[in-house]
């Protein structure tokens, strides 16, 4: 047990030093941002003292990591895509019913812009509409509903409400599955995802409507990910709609994406 404690202390002081250097701060500058004395920074980095939880939270936030990662892993050994995907996210805010079971909050299209800044705000989430559905697949887990716009995912029509299950770790996103992604640059999007985080730190987003070209985003752009589990539509899809992709066409898109990935790798070398 003593060895474990010693290892954690060594890892923490090395992580603190690594964070400061990654931020290009001197010990004095780091101390100023933490509102502590410079001598304390030196003590933390040398393992002569350990910071309080409040300071650990500040350091983790500055580094874009969770406190658990800061104290539990050697962050200097994390790959770049891992550091991006481990950016600190506030605890997911949910509402519960009288039996302390999670509600399904609805993010209407008109609230989408506000959700990008309010997703971790308790008061904002409380103001969203919420509901329950007696469907077994939605009986366990944490779910959120999003109103979809545009026709990029036909036959899922504009105005459809897609219910997604919370994905804690974006590294677990599965190729070819549909997700609602809350992103910094694109906002809220509903796409089929192909996961190339280990290869180049990116996700490829593909529309089922082949008129829309696939594109890629960095892992660090993803704020939240919700795996599509069900949808509620107020319009019935046209039986003659020909814009949706067949599995054969989708496989072709994936092959094109893989070719593009290889091209990107070649350019880097």
CATH number of the domain that residue 206 is part of: 2.10.109.10
Q: Same domain for 137 and 215?
A: yes
In a domain? residue 157:
yes
In a domain? residue 93:
no
Residue 17 tokens, joined = 């030093």
Q: Same domain for 52 and 126?
A: no
User: Which residue in 124, 78, 128, 120 sits closest to 103, CA to CA?
Assistant: 128
Q: Same domain for 119 and 229?
A: yes
> Can you give the pLDDT at residue 250?
62
Residues whose CB is less than 8 angstroms from the CB of residue 69 and which lie 6 or more positions away in sequence, other chains included: 60, 75, 86
> Can you give the pLDDT at residue 228?
97
Farthest-apart Cα atoms in the chain, separation: 72
In a domain? residue 258:
yes
- End position of a domain, from candidates 78, 112, 137: 78
Domain boundaries, position 227: 104-268
Q: DSSP characters for the chain?
A: -HHHHHHHHHHHHHHHHHHHHHTT--HHHHHHHHTS-HHHHHHHHHTSS---HHHHHHHHHHHT--HHHHHHS-GGGS-HHHHHHT---PPPP--B-TTSPBPEEEE-GGGHHHHHHHTT-HHHHHHS-EE----GGGSSS-EEEEE--SSTTTTS-TT-EEEEEE-S-GGGPPTTEEEEEEETTTEEEEEEEEEEHHHHSEEEEE-SBTTSPPEEEEGGGEEEEEEEEEEE-SSPPPTT---BPPHHHHHHHHHHHHHHHHHHHHHH-
> Can you give the pLDDT at residue 140?
81
- End position of a domain, from candidates 60, 78, 96: 78
User: Which residue in 183, 166, 179 sits closest to 207, CA to CA?
Assistant: 179
In a domain? residue 205:
yes
In a domain? residue 228:
yes
Q: Report the alpha-carbon distance of residue 238 to residue 263 in Å, rounded.
A: 38
In a domain? residue 96:
no
> Can you give the pLDDT at residue 16?
94
> Can you give the pLDDT at residue 82?
54
Q: Same domain for 187 and 120?
A: yes
Q: Same domain for 136 and 264?
A: yes
The count of domains in the chain is: 2
Q: Report the alpha-carbon distance of residue 172 to residue 169 in Å, rounded.
A: 6
Q: Same domain for 251 and 124?
A: yes
Q: Same domain for 116 and 231?
A: yes
> Can you give the pLDDT at residue 96?
87
CA distances from 140 to 13, 135, 145 (A): 40, 10, 15
Report CA 122 to chain centroid distance, whole Å: 18
Count other Cβ atoms within 10 Å, centred on residue 102: 19
> Can you give the pLDDT at residue 147?
96
| pLDDT per residue rounded down to tens, the chain (269 residues) | 344 444 555 689 999 999 888 888 899 999 998 989 999 999 999 999 999 988 888 887 777 677 778 888 888 877 655 555 444 344 578 888 888 888 999 999 999 999 988 887 888 999 999 998 888 888 788 999 999 999 999 889 999 999 999 998 888 899 999 999 998 888 999 999 999 888 887 899 999 998 999 999 888 788 899 999 999 987 776 655 555 555 566 666 666 766 766 676 666 55
Q: Same domain for 131 and 252?
A: yes
Whether 259 contacts 188, CB under 8 Å: no
Is 140 exposed, middle or buried (CB count within 10 Å of its CB: 0-12, 13-18, 19+)? exposed
Whether 261 contacts 175, CB under 8 Å: no
CATH number reported for the structural domain that contains residue 47 in this entry:
1.10.260.40
Q: Same domain for 68 and 120?
A: no
> Can you give the pLDDT at residue 144?
96
- End position of a domain, from candidates 78, 93, 112: 78
Q: Same domain for 120 and 61?
A: no
Q: Same domain for 235 and 193?
A: yes
In a domain? residue 98:
no
In a domain? residue 99:
no
Q: Same domain for 167 and 225?
A: yes
């Amino acid at each position: 047990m003593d060895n474990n404690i010693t290892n954690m202390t060594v890892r923490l002081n090395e992580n603190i030093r690594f964070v400061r250097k990654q931020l290009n701060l001197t010990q004095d500058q780091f101390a100023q941002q933490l509102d502590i004395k410079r001598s304390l920074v030196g003590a933390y980095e040398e393992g002569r003292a350990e910071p309080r939880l409040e300071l650990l939270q500040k350091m983790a936030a500055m580094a874009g990591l969770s406190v658990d990662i800061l104290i539990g892993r050697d962050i200097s050994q994390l790959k770049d895509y891992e550091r991006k995907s481990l950016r600190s996210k506030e605890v997911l805010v949910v509402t519960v019913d009288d039996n302390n079971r999670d509600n399904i909050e609805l993010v209407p299209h008109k609230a989408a812009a506000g959700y990008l800044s309010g997703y971790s705000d308790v008061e904002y989430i409380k103001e969203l509409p919420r509901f329950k559905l007696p469907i077994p697949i939605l009986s366990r887990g944490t779910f959120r509903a999003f109103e979809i716009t545009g026709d990029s995912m036909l036959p899922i029509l504009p105005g459809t409400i897609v219910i997604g299950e919370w994905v804690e770790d974006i590294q677990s996103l599965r190729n070819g599955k549909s997700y609602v992604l809350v992103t910094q640059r694109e906002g809220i999007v509903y796409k089929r995802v192909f996961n190339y985080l280990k290869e180049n730190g990116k996700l490829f987003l593909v529309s089922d409507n082949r008129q829309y070209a696939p594109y890629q985003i960095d892992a660090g752009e993803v704020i939240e990910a919700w795996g599509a589990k069900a949808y509620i539509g107020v319009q019935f899809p046209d039986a003659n709609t020909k814009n949706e992709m067949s599995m054969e066409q989708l496989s072709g898109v994936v092959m094109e994406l893989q070719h593009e990935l290889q091209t990107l790798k070649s350019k880097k070398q």
